[in-house]
Amino acid sequence: MKHALSVTRQQNFAAWYQEVISEADLAEESGVRGCMVIRPWGYGIWERIQKLLDARIKAAGVDNCYFPLFIPLSYFEKEADHVEGFAKEMAVVTHHRLVGDGKGKLIPDPDSKLEEPLIVRPTSETVIGAAMARWVQSWRDLPLMVNQWANVVRWEMRTRMFLRTSEFLWQEGHTAHVDREDAMRETLRALEMYRQMAEDDCAMPVITGEKPENERFPGAVATYSIEAMMQDGKALQAGTSHYLGTGFAEAAGIKYQDKEGGQQFAHTTSWGMSTRMIGGVIMTHGDDDGLRCPPRIAPWQIVIVPMLRDSDEDEAVLEYCRALSRELGALEAFGEPVRVLLDTKATKAQVKRWSWVKKGAPIIVEVGPRDVAEGKAAVLRRDRLYKDDGKLNTAFTPKGDFVASAAKLLQDIQASLYAEAKARLDANIARDVSDLAAHFKGDEAKFAGWVEVQWARPSGAALDKIVEQLKALKLTMRNAPLDAAPADGACFFTGEPAVERILIGRTY
Amino acid sequence: MKHALSVTRQQNFAAWYQEVISEADLAEESGVRGCMVIRPWGYGIWERIQKLLDARIKAAGVDNCYFPLFIPLSYFEKEADHVEGFAKEMAVVTHHRLVGDGKGKLIPDPDSKLEEPLIVRPTSETVIGAAMARWVQSWRDLPLMVNQWANVVRWEMRTRMFLRTSEFLWQEGHTAHVDREDAMRETLRALEMYRQMAEDDCAMPVITGEKPENERFPGAVATYSIEAMMQDGKALQAGTSHYLGTGFAEAAGIKYQDKEGGQQFAHTTSWGMSTRMIGGVIMTHGDDDGLRCPPRIAPWQIVIVPMLRDSDEDEAVLEYCRALSRELGALEAFGEPVRVLLDTKATKAQVKRWSWVKKGAPIIVEVGPRDVAEGKAAVLRRDRLYKDDGKLNTAFTPKGDFVASAAKLLQDIQASLYAEAKARLDANIARDVSDLAAHFKGDEAKFAGWVEVQWARPSGAALDKIVEQLKALKLTMRNAPLDAAPADGACFFTGEPAVERILIGRTY
């Protein structure tokens, strides 16, 4: 069976990933170090993820706002833990003017040096904390829940498109509450929201759980994540939610008068999800012909390719396609109008078909003169592209039947992609491993899934030792699943009584 | 009549503008020089503008993408005109790491100095041009039409919220075409799209026209704008569309093979609209009680304020309000579900009412125990807040009647706000002025509207002279209206035969 890509997942997963991104027109290198251009199909997927997640955010009563791109350097000095964790690789603005150097080149004008350098936000806890301190006076002002959709910059030495780029797009939610209980409720609500977004919208099954202490967001009291399993068995952290205690509130001065008239510090949370999710979608659903885009997040769910031959029949084919497009566009799937594209670009039908296969449009419909004559359409389900004999699995369907079943077909594809990924996740968490080195032997590219162990959750030097031990095997602890069975044995690492179960794996 | 703000438009328009922004929770100073925090109500308006404009952009076949925040300094050296015009006040990133200075402070790490400084994008022609050069090979690839929603930074010395801030949010459309004709068609399509967005969505009447040569975007062959008249008579340029000729394509190398096999440079356009539009909405529709938000762009179109008294009747009031909210939310206005908020915040009803008056919610509905008993609602139309006697213009309406008429009421408010602004615009363009100094005498705050004159459209030194002459009167040429009557007399400035009519006024 010949595939649309030059490399398969089996041959070289990393090279396959890059080829999907390139061939599906998702993104490309920009010429600016570590920054990518997100192309229309990739950005269209991001817009879908945004739209669906934004509705969930709004439904929770969180208000969207916008905070400055620049953060004065001194803000990073206020919260020591935060400085240690973040104040390293960041883009620093030092001048505000360019001038000619007299030799035809431009240089930063030495006279425009800023008194205080500005940092391009790596995350916005500090600047949003300063605003919250202005906005919160009384318990009546709480909870205060805001979110922003923004670009952030973390200067990365080794970048990989979508997964780790110097600039990326994300949303960051920031909330302030009267007490630990209310803040923790919000932390877990956001986590559950991410789970739903990943599983229901992106068809990407995840494990929700708490990160171990060494993987916490700098300054957080507790960090939770959703972890997804990629097709190479590695974990992708696809969203995080942090309970920050009162540390950030104390640094920023977020105080409120309680009902008894006393002054209290607010308990804050933050939670974020980024364009990294698109990398997760590729590595969860892609196959050797490119991306398979879950219908809920596909910019176009059904693409109609007219087979034109510069002949007299072309107009009849186009007219038939336009009618089909109108009928499909009048349908609803997942509570929204079906998104249909009639691709009339001046390219050969064969080329178009494969470009939509690579992009992963859920349903591709080809219409030629014979289909018009017979009142049919050639329907290709992207998630089941080939028959057992290796031939394309095209269904020549009467037009009316196809229209009548199209919405259900989209729902089936969504469910089928999820089921496939869920089966893989469930089958590849080992719970009876006694020797990690043996289980994860071989090179890093070898599929080994994850291992769940019981542990005593030590901290300090005892934890450091475990982390080092795992690091030597290129492993990390992912999270302690919220719905894991209670611990009932000895700690895998120390032999002490275990208190919880935790997942271990290789990671992106 | 007592108003909700401490200063009226008449007393001090600039102070009134700032007070509306503050009291309506639209935005505030961030503590970061020249950057603002856009608060939920302000950002909600922006989201509405985005949503409505984005639908128009997509309907035109333009694809959303995302390009890097950072532009290498050398890109600005490629296009000489562009350098002269833009390469001045910009944020320059020179380092990529912070370190401690050993005295508890952070400083840019001298070892992390970038070989080539990066500029925070002031606009993206250069970086998008570089991408287009990669994407365009053949006439089949054209037109290539992309848009991005992004933040941009222009280091401004004097800032004013929404109108001129160092960082602002905007969309920038960039398109490439086979020839001048097709590019010009797109330039004018974008201009017409902005007119519709301003007039139909924001209820803000505008004049569409071509900017004079001295006001062109640096490097453009022709710049068009929409100009709106604020309540102080000043002009606000609220959107621009540029035909860039082949200059940017030559600088970036956007070449294509034409149908005959020859190599041609593409003709490009760019067009943008920003958060400045929100400033225009405030200064077009605001009154001495705050903002009046046109229903199409109001985050909430109807706000229900329950009058609670910590009594046994509260639950019945709330239940009545919830039912009303459901009924209103099931309606459609302007082809979308009506956006209804039941404001249950723990604040006094009186305070809430005035906070929604200041924010400009189009319809405010108060419900107390007596309304519940009588099956009524106290309906306040924000655009007609007072009766002739100065009392609040509250209509005690049977609930069913209100629900039945609510969608039409929203449409009436939208139309009425537009009609009021249109009458002001039409009444305040003088066409018979012979002495500009006399017409615009008095201080800058004095309302003088605009003047339309005929002119010969000179360039070079003759144009410079006119520009200087106007500048002495604090005046600028706004645009030459596309639908103005043909010129039929002598140039206002030179006495030569006039070729077109042009608007003159004070401006933001």
- A478: domain CATH number is 3.30.110.30
Whether A448 is in a domain gets the answer: yes
Last residue of a domain, one of B425, B447, B465: B425
Cβ distance B30 to A127 less than 8 Å, yes or no, reads: yes
Which residues on B lie below 8 Å from A89 (Cβ)?
Answer: 96-97
The distance of B441 to chain A (nearest Cα, Å) reads 37
Regarding whether B302 and B281 lie in a shared domain, the answer is: no
Whether B2 is in a domain gets the answer: no
Q: In sequence order, which residues have a C-beta less than 8 Å from that of residue B219 and are 6 or more positions away?
A: B79, B81, B82, B85, B125, B244, B247, B248
Total-model pTM: 0.96
Regarding whether A346 and A247 lie in a shared domain, the answer is: no
Domain that holds residue A332: 295-425
Nearest to A151 by CA among B75, B169, B166, B63: B169
Q: Which of B38, B98, B118 sits opposite A88 (nearest CB)?
A: B98
Regarding whether B352 and B469 lie in a shared domain, the answer is: no
B92–chain A Cβ distance below 8 A for any pair: yes
Regarding whether B411 and B462 lie in a shared domain, the answer is: no
The distance of A478 to chain B (nearest Cα, Å) reads 28
Cβ distance B91 to A71 less than 8 Å, yes or no, reads: no
Regarding whether A489 and A419 lie in a shared domain, the answer is: no
pLDDT for A323: 98
Q: Which residue of B has its CA nearest to A168?
A: B68
Whether A109 is in a domain gets the answer: no
A26–chain B Cβ distance below 8 A for any pair: no
Residue B245's domain is classified under what CATH number? 3.30.930.10
Q: Is B507 exposed, middle or buried (0-12, 13-18, 19+ CB in 10 A)?
A: middle
Tell me how far CA of residue B504 lies from CA of A346, B165, B454, B456, in angstroms: 47, 25, 11, 15
Name the phi and psi angles at B152, rounded to 5.
Answer: -135, 160
Q: Which residue of B has its CA nearest to A147?
A: B40
- Residues within 8 A of A (CB atoms), B 229-268 only: none
Cβ distance A347 to B68 less than 8 Å, yes or no, reads: no
Cβ distance A346 to B140 less than 8 Å, yes or no, reads: yes
Q: What is the pLDDT of residues A326-377, one digit of tens each?
A: 999 999 999 999 999 999 988 899 999 999 999 999 999 999 999 999 999 9
The distance of B167 to chain A (nearest Cα, Å) reads 7
Q: Which of A65, A83, A95 sits opposite B92 (nearest CB)?
A: A95
Q: What is the pLDDT of residues A247-279, one digit of tens each?
A: 999 999 999 999 999 999 999 999 999 999 999
Regarding whether A265 and A329 lie in a shared domain, the answer is: no
Q: What is the pLDDT of residues A387-417, one digit of tens each?
A: 999 999 999 999 999 999 999 999 999 999 9
Residue B341's domain is classified under what CATH number? 3.40.50.800
CB contacts < 8 A, A to B, total: 188
pLDDT for A3: 87
Which residues on A lie below 8 Å from B167 (Cβ)?
Answer: 68-70
pLDDT for A80: 52
Cβ distance A91 to B87 less than 8 Å, yes or no, reads: no
pLDDT for B79: 60
Query: Do A259 and A141 touch, CB atoms closer than 8 A?
Result: no
Regarding whether B278 and B139 lie in a shared domain, the answer is: yes
Regarding whether B452 and B378 lie in a shared domain, the answer is: no
Q: Which of A35, A87, A140 sits opposite B68 (nearest CB)?
A: A35
Q: Which residue of B has its CA nearest to A38?
A: B66
B30–chain A Cβ distance below 8 A for any pair: yes
How many domains in chain A?
3
Name the phi and psi angles at B378, rounded to 5.
Answer: -95, 105
The distance of A155 to chain B (nearest Cα, Å) reads 6
Cβ distance B70 to A167 less than 8 Å, yes or no, reads: yes
Regarding whether A179 and A64 lie in a shared domain, the answer is: yes
Which residues on B lie below 8 Å from A108 (Cβ)?
Answer: 92, 94, 117
Whether B434 is in a domain gets the answer: yes
Q: Which of B37, B69, B112 sits opposite A167 (nearest CB)?
A: B69
pLDDT for A82: 52
Q: What is the pLDDT of residues A477-488, one digit of tens each?
A: 999 999 999 999
Which residues on A lie below 8 Å from B48 (Cβ)?
Answer: none
B337–chain A Cβ distance below 8 A for any pair: no
A392–chain B Cβ distance below 8 A for any pair: no
Cis peptide before A218 (omega within 30 of 0): no
A89–chain B Cβ distance below 8 A for any pair: yes
Name the phi and psi angles at B363, rounded to 5.
Answer: -130, 130
pLDDT for B2: 77
Whether B118 is in a domain gets the answer: no
Query: Do A301 and A339 touch, CB atoms closer than 8 A?
Result: yes
pLDDT for A281: 98
Regarding whether A231 and A172 lie in a shared domain, the answer is: yes
The angle subtended at Cα A150 by Cα A149 and Cα A152, nearest 5°, is 145
A146–chain B Cβ distance below 8 A for any pair: yes
Q: Mean pLDDT across the stretch A193-216?
A: 98
B98–chain A Cβ distance below 8 A for any pair: yes
The distance of B140 to chain A (nearest Cα, Å) reads 6
B68–chain A Cβ distance below 8 A for any pair: yes
Cβ distance A97 to B96 less than 8 Å, yes or no, reads: no
What is the identity of the amino acid at B384? Answer: R
Element at B140 (helix H, strand E):
none
End-to-end CA distance of chain B: 30
Confidence band (pLDDT; 50, 70, 90) for A306? Answer: very high
Q: Which of B32, B116, B275 to mutate to test the interface with A (most CBs of A within 10 A)?
A: B32
Query: Do B37 and A72 touch, CB atoms closer than 8 A?
Result: no
Last residue of a domain, one of B390, B425, B460: B425
Whether B221 is in a domain gets the answer: yes
Q: What is the pLDDT of residues A80-123, one digit of tens each?
A: 555 555 558 899 999 999 988 877 788 999 999 999 999 999 99
Largest CA distance in chain A: 84
Last residue of a domain, one of B285, B303, B327: B285
Cβ distance B97 to A89 less than 8 Å, yes or no, reads: yes
Whether A32 is in a domain gets the answer: yes
More confident residue, B310 or A502: A502
- In chain B (508 residues long), the average pLDDT of successive 10-residue segments reads 89 97 96 92 98 98 98 80 63 93 85 95 94 96 97 92 96 98 98 98 98 94 98 97 96 96 97 98 98 98 95 94 98 97 91 96 97 97 95 96 98 98 97 93 80 96 96 96 95 96 96
pLDDT for B80: 52
The angle subtended at Cα B146 by Cα B141 and Cα B151, nearest 5°, is 155
How many CA atoms lie less than 13 Å away from A449 in the CB half-sphere?
16
* SS3 assignment, position B122: coil
Regarding whether A141 and A246 lie in a shared domain, the answer is: yes
Q: Which of B39, B45, B54, B66 to mutate to test the interface with A (most CBs of A within 10 A)?
A: B66
Whether A358 is in a domain gets the answer: yes
Which residues on B lie below 8 Å from A150 (Cβ)?
Answer: 151
pLDDT for B55: 97
Nearest to A365 by CA among A386, A376, A380: A380
Q: Which residue of B has its CA nearest to A70?
A: B32
The angle subtended at Cα A210 by Cα A208 and Cα A214, nearest 5°, is 135
- Residues within 8 A of A (CB atoms), B 160-219 only: 167, 169
Regarding whether B220 and B176 lie in a shared domain, the answer is: yes
Q: Which residue of A has its CA nearest to B40?
A: A65
The distance of A479 to chain B (nearest Cα, Å) reads 30
pLDDT for A335: 95
Cβ distance B63 to A47 less than 8 Å, yes or no, reads: no
